Chain A
Amino acid sequence: MPVMDRIVVEQARSGDRAAFARLATDLSHQLYPVAVRILRDPEAAGDAVQATLVDIWRDLPSLRDPDRMDAWAHRIVVNRCRSHLRKTRRLPAIVDLLEADRAAPSEDLSLEFRDELERAFARLSCDHRAVLVLVYFRDLTLQQSAALLGISVGTVKSRLFAARQAMRAAVDADARPIIQEGPA
């Protein structure tokens, strides 16, 4: 962590609200893109990050090492996402594409294909989603992801394996030819 950031964390930890405002703004830009990709819902992601920032303020004095700020914040936001998913898990599995997806389609991915990916992703647990987001969106290594999530590298590997397996099934399903049934 840069020295200045460390100082800001130290100041915020001491109760300096101005310092926390700077920290919260920085953190929101780091955490929101992760949350929105885990939850696939901009509103819910905003709420999760907002709750995370409040948690961070309240418990900041207990943060032992300012250099662990990033990891701590990511763990909290993943927990908040998990909590959100727990509350909504019994809702019908309707997957809406994000507004951003509709507005700016990703390169060479068709709408149907992305819909297939969304559905597969929606079936993943929060922990599996988080690993995928950190590895493929944040471009973190397994070690970095493990450190950020506070879990072992082995756990990251197993979650990534399971998550990739599920996503691969969606990709392969999309690639399968449609079999026409009927009289020969």
Chain B
Amino acid sequence: MTSDADLDRLLTVWLSGGGPDRSPDWVAADALEQVDTLPQRRPRRWFPTPASLRSQSRRSWAIAAAVAALTVAAVALGIGAGADLRTPDPSPTPPPDSVGWRPLDGSFEVLLPPRWKPASGSDPGAIYAIRTSSDGSTQQLSIRRADDRGAIRRCDRQVGRWEECGLTSPRTLDELVTAVVPNAHIMFPGEAKPSTNRSRVILDGEMATVVNISLGGPPPSGQVVVYIAAFHGGRAYLIRGWTDADATITGLKDVVEGLRFLPDPERPDPSPPRAMRGVAYPDHGIEFAVPESWPETQNECCDRLAFAGHAPEGMLSVSHGHGYGGQVCLPLCVSFEASPLPDYDPGIVVDELTAQISGQVGPGTWLPLPFGAVPDLIVAQRLSRSVYDQTIGSSTSETYVVGVHDDRVLIVAFQQPGTTGELDLVDRTLASIRFLPAKQGPTDEPSPDGFGRHTAQGGVYSLELPDGWWPGRPFEIEGLLPIEMRRYGEDALTISLGTEGGRVAYCNPVCGLIAKGQRSIDDLEQTLTGGDPNWTAEPGDVDGLPSRILRPPPGADPQLEHIVFMFRERRPAIITINHKTATAPPDVYARIIDSIRFAPPPEAPELGLTLVAPDGSFRADLAEGWGLPKGRDPAVAYAARGGTHLEIRVGDQRGHIRPCDPDTPRSGWETCDEAVIQSVEDVGPALALHPISYGPLTTWEDVVLDGEPAVIQFSSGYEYPARGGQNLAYVAAVHNGRPYVLRFWTSASTPQFYIEEVIDGFHFTD
């Protein structure tokens, strides 16, 4: 057999020689020709101005107009503001595409024209933006507010040694201005002496001082720094603009016009502290406190614990699994796993995991977690960062903690809107973490022969497990749709039941997902062995179902044994034993497999109602539980069951169909544009969703809809702000040249679409 090194070399040589390294010119040229007439799709604003603020908005723009008048008057009087502020736009209304940004505490909001783009900085409490002028010069902006103790940071990085970036605690506007004005009596060798002038503007009704600092002479020359200092409600506010162009900062007028202080009731009351509730998970060996109003989400998965809530808004995931990794779910789950080590070293594991998390979530500085912040946690690192999301128009604060306790990795991920989040909330959660002693085994009475019967997967099957073995742990693949896979006995034994669409998870030994197409035992054999004739295949059975036992050639690493069969005729199933990692003798696994007993298939549900197409083209017999909600469109058939909504639409003979109501898309990523579906191959591109915010992630599955090939497109995402998971499924088929789209939607954390049931009851009647 070819060695790994040889295979690597062959693939590198073959793929490197397998085509040109540059694109032919026609590719970009043709694309640009198409783009010439194509407008860009502008994202919807995800930060709508609440109705209560709109009147204030008008007020603030009226004030801005007054500012304009006042400033022009000031210029006339020779008071002398910065050039940018002397000629403000007198328009009383904000530019139509302005995006509102505000910090978590809601103390102010700034509406900026779209030419300002979000930028990042080291201060999670600041708002950062950047604007690029037509001449290529850039302007940078930060806006900060003093904290509860009155301290405010002046800048992130000093332009010259004359500029002090540290914290200052001014009590008056004069003190604040003094803190940002360069000291004219101190010169630094090799650095230009900045020239300074001051002026006054009105900032949303508050008198503010503009400090305009120019650097001429030798480098760093040609730079301008402008501070606008103000006090509001007893707190200092500091706007800092910087440009590398030897010119004025023209964009600052946007800030003066766009900033408004928000009334106190908008601010969250810092006291009393948020009520917390304790949660304990003996199976995970951990207990901690979460905000009282945050329910657990997606509790079907045991690799991590996830919580989310609206008041306060935020998300938390806690993973305390094995020694090499865990998951982060905010809200979509991503697994991180460090490389196994011959001698376990928590420091190396944590370093590798923090690097992986940074690679996934973005850059940031990991700092050691103070000793005792999480009792008993060692080599812990913490990353706190603020991420600006242009599509939703505000910042999100994120905190990640990775550490090790008793050779098990703890990963905590915390997210809240705003630039800082409620720092005490994450700290309180961390401080509340307690590790529980490992459980020693099931509490059931041991059976006489050392085996006990357990029911798995909601009663789908039962099996006998040795005393001391825990009923299998669910395993989630790719963080999305629940896959019916359970792992037993230190993960040496995996039982995976696939879907009727031919999808099935398996471990080889790394766990993955066979996306579709497994329609028979032969398909499974071909997929798992890769057609390698060195594998052996023997017939067998699992609870009377014909199976095939697949074994790799002797000496293969890992030494896997796959038992493949079709469950309930259409669902591919795989049982895998990894003999290399097995901790029990082989006969124990054989006994477990022999003991598997499948439950009879559920009886067909009682017929509840029949949906008939308005044009008579289909009929859908739906089970008991479905109801008829009011529908907006008489051409659409509507039904609802619990939190699941079903809409069925039929397109025209040209394949044109609108898959959803454009007035009520269920998430920002659902566009409801008219699509053209002339075959099932068109479904993916035609129903493509618009990536935004946290999603969506999409998977596809082939099915049959009353004899016609059909595709199910599942999408799960997260709608900001904190409206929970958004789960969407389209079933699309073409019949007699017309597209049919069944649209399912639910915001339940565990999506229950009833798709198979609806498909079973669906009939074309044209």
Contact = CB atoms under 8 A, between A and B. Distances in A.
Say whether A associates with B: yes
Contacts of B7: 164, 167-168, 171
Given A143-B359, A147-B359, A7 B136 contact: yes
B356 A153 contact: yes
B42 interface: yes
Nearest to B44: A62
A14 B18 contact: no
Interface stretch (B29-37, B307-315, B490-498): B29-37
Interface string B8-52: 101111111111111110111011101110111111000000000
A50 B19 CA distance: 17
A59 B41 contact: yes
Given A33-B23, A83-B684, A171 B15 contact: no
Contacts of B107: none
Contacts of B684: 82-83, 86
B14 A109 contact: yes
Interface size range of chain B in the complex:
35 or more
B183 to A, nearest CB: 32
B117 interface: yes
A54 B17 contact: no
A127 B508 CA distance: 17
A169 B515 CA distance: 21
Interface in A132-184: 132-133, 136-137, 139, 143-144, 146-147, 151-155, 157-159, 161-162, 164-169, 171-172, 175
A158 B132 contact: no
B13 A28 contact: no
Nearest to B114: A14
Contacts of A171: 2, 6-7, 10
A133 B118 CA distance: 34
A64 B508 CA distance: 36
A87 B359 contact: no
B390 interface: yes
A101 B39 CA distance: 39
Contacts of A60: 40
Contacts of B2: 168, 171-172, 175
Contacts of B337: 153-154
Given A61-B41, A65-B362, A147-B359, A109 B13 contact: yes
A61 B40 contact: yes
Nearest to A123: B531
A164 B22 CA distance: 26
A32 B27 contact: yes
Given A37-B18, A64-B391, A58 B38 contact: yes
Nearest to B3: A168
A46 B25 CA distance: 10
Nearest to A36: B19
A17 B15 contact: no
A114 B16 CA distance: 12
B440 interface: no
B335 A154 contact: yes
A152 B17 contact: no
Given A53-B28, A147-B359, A165-B532, A136 B11 contact: yes
Nearest to A98: B19
Nearest to A27: B28
Interface size range of chain A in the complex:
35 or more
Given A36-B20, A153-B337, A161-B510, A143 B1 contact: no
A83 to B, nearest CB: 6
Interface in B486-515: 508, 510-512, 515
Contact of B23 (A13, A31, A108, A161): A31
Interface in B330-358: 334-337, 355-356
Nearest to B362: A65
Interface in A1-55: 7, 10-11, 13-15, 17, 20-21, 24-25, 27-29, 31-33, 36-37, 40, 42, 45-46, 49-51, 53-54
Given A17-B36, A101-B17, A171-B2, A62 B692 contact: yes
Contacts of B356: 143, 153
A33 B15 CA distance: 10
A61 to B, nearest CB: 5
A53 B31 contact: yes
A40 B13 CA distance: 15
Given A143-B356, A152-B478, A172 B531 contact: no
A166 B535 CA distance: 13
A136 B510 contact: no
A37 B532 contact: no
B360 interface: yes
Main secondary structure of the interface of A (DSSP, over half): helix
Given A62-B691, A152-B335, A164-B7, A28 B28 contact: yes
A161 B20 contact: no
A112 interface: no
B164 interface: no
A104 B658 CA distance: 49
Contact of A17 (B17, B19, B35, B512): B35
B530 A169 contact: yes
A93 interface: no
A108 B138 CA distance: 52
**Which of B11, B360, B690 lies at the interface centre, i.e. has the most chain A CB atoms within 10 A of its CB?**
B11
A172 B1 contact: yes
B389 interface: yes
B508 A162 contact: yes
Contacts of B21: 33
Interface string A77-98: 0000011001100000000001
B31 A24 contact: yes
B681 interface: yes
Contacts of B216: none
Contact of A168 (B1, B19, B691): B1
Contacts of A152: 334-336, 360, 478-479
B115 A14 contact: yes
A37 B19 contact: yes
B15 A132 contact: yes
A80 to B, nearest CB: 9
Contacts of A54: 31, 34-35, 38
B685 interface: yes
A83 B532 CA distance: 28
A139 to B, nearest CB: 8
Contacts of B11: 132, 136, 164, 167
A20 B35 contact: yes
A10 B23 CA distance: 24
A28 B31 contact: yes
A172 B336 CA distance: 33
Given A83-B684, A164-B7, A168-B2, A62 B43 contact: yes
A164 to B, nearest CB: 6
21 contacts: A27-B28, A42-B20, A49-B23, A50-B34, A53-B31, A57-B35, A58-B41, A59-B40, A64-B389, A101-B17, A114-B14, A132-B15, A152-B334, A152-B335, A152-B336, A152-B360, A155-B512, A161-B510, A164-B11, A168-B1, A172-B532
CB-based closest 3 A-B pairs: A158-B512, A106-B17, A32-B23
Interface of A: 7, 10-11, 13-15, 17, 20-21, 24-25, 27-29, 31-33, 36-37, 40, 42, 45-46, 49-51, 53-54, 57-62, 64-65, 67, 82-83, 86-87, 98, 100-101, 104-109, 114, 117, 123, 125, 127, 132-133, 136-137, 139, 143-144, 146-147, 151-155, 157-159, 161-162, 164-169, 171-172, 175
